[in-house]
């Protein structure tokens, strides 16, 4: 099975989120299932913005007219069994580099407008991607998920038809603090468990979910530390 890791952090290899993602992937690999992994660090690719011309729906069905790396990336996307979206939260959504990638997924869809039972609309897929599973891994700078991640989660709910698991890590900058290594290690142990569970049970078990929802350090302590460190600069 193919796992595509989309590293959407502008920090590239120095991404906090990538630390979590690598642990999750270790867990997946530890499940014993045969996996072929491919990392795509979006900063290393040339991905132009969608022009909105709809040529991929009309003139050249399924193909974008822009000649850049997206042609190769679309193939990787279509062929993947698991897609790990790894990125920091930027303004309650995804960084623009990754949003540019997402917009360029348009050739995967057909132009027709379908209607769901609840009266809402969708575009059917050009390919059978029903077995594809999405994993959203994101760190952020605040200590709360509430009033922070709602818009992004709604986008993923709609995009994947609810077919995704998530790991959200508030206080993400703490993953780089050497003094907090023991706490980081225990968190990453839970992340590894989550990766293994997904492949063995097709879900993250409630106990592991609970561990992953606990903050790295209590909110009050985090805010004091963060504000002190900014003043020190």
Which residues form the interface with ligand FMN (CB under 6 A)?
Answer: 9, 11, 15-17, 88-92, 139-142, 148, 172-173
C-beta of 82 vs 85, nearer to ligand FMN: 85
C-beta of 162 vs 178, nearer to ligand FMN: 178
C-beta of 93 vs 110, nearer to ligand FMN: 93
CB of 43 to ligand FMN, least distance (A): 10
CB of 171 to ligand FMN, least distance (A): 8
CB of 123 to ligand FMN, least distance (A): 28
CB of 17 to ligand FMN, least distance (A): 3
C-beta of 56 vs 143, nearer to ligand FMN: 143
Q: Which of 174, 167, 179, 176 is nearest to 217 (CA)?
A: 174
CB of 203 to ligand FMN, least distance (A): 25
C-beta of 66 vs 156, nearer to ligand FMN: 156
Q: Which residue is nearest to ligand FMN (CB)?
A: 172
Here the tokens at position 171 are 């206080």
Estimate to the nearest angstrom the gap between the alpha carbon of 201 and the chain centroid. Answer: 20
Q: Which of 178, 200, 7 is nearest to 88 (CA)?
A: 7
Other Cβ atoms less than 10 A from the Cβ of 11: the count is 14
d(CA 231, CA 217): 20
d(CA 141, CA 210): 20
d(CA 95, CA 230): 23
Max distance between CA atoms of the chain, in angstroms, equals 57
């Amino acid at each position: 099975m193919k796992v595509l890791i989309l590293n959407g952090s502008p920090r590239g290899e120095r991404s906090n989120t990538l630390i979590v993602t690598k642990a999750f992937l270790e867990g997946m690999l530890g499940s014993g299932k045969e996996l072929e992994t491919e990392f795509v660090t979006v900063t290393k690719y040339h991905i132009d913005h969608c022009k909105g011309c709809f040529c991929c729906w009309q003139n050249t069905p399924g193909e974008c007219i822009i000649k850049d790396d997206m042609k190769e990336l679309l193939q990787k996307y279509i062929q993947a069994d698991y897609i790990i979206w790894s990125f920091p939260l930027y303004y309650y959504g995804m960084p623009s580099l990754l949003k540019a990638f997402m917009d360029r997924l348009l050739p995967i869809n057909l132009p027709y407008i379908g209607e769901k039972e609840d009266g809402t609309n969708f575009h059917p897929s050009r390919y059978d991607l029903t077995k594809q599973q999405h994993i959203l891994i994101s760190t952020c700078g605040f200590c709360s998920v509430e009033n922070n991640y709602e818009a992004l989660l709604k986008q993923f709910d709609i995009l994947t038809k609810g077919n995704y698991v998530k790991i959200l890590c508030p206080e993400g900058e703490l993953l780089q603090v050497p003094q907090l290594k023991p706490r980081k290690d225990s968190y990453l142990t839970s992340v590894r468990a989550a990766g293994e569970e997904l492949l063995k049970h097709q879900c993250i078990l409630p106990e592991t979910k609970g561990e992953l929802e606990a903050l790295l350090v209590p909110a009050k302590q985090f805010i004091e530390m963060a504000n002190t460190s900014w003043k020190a600069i």
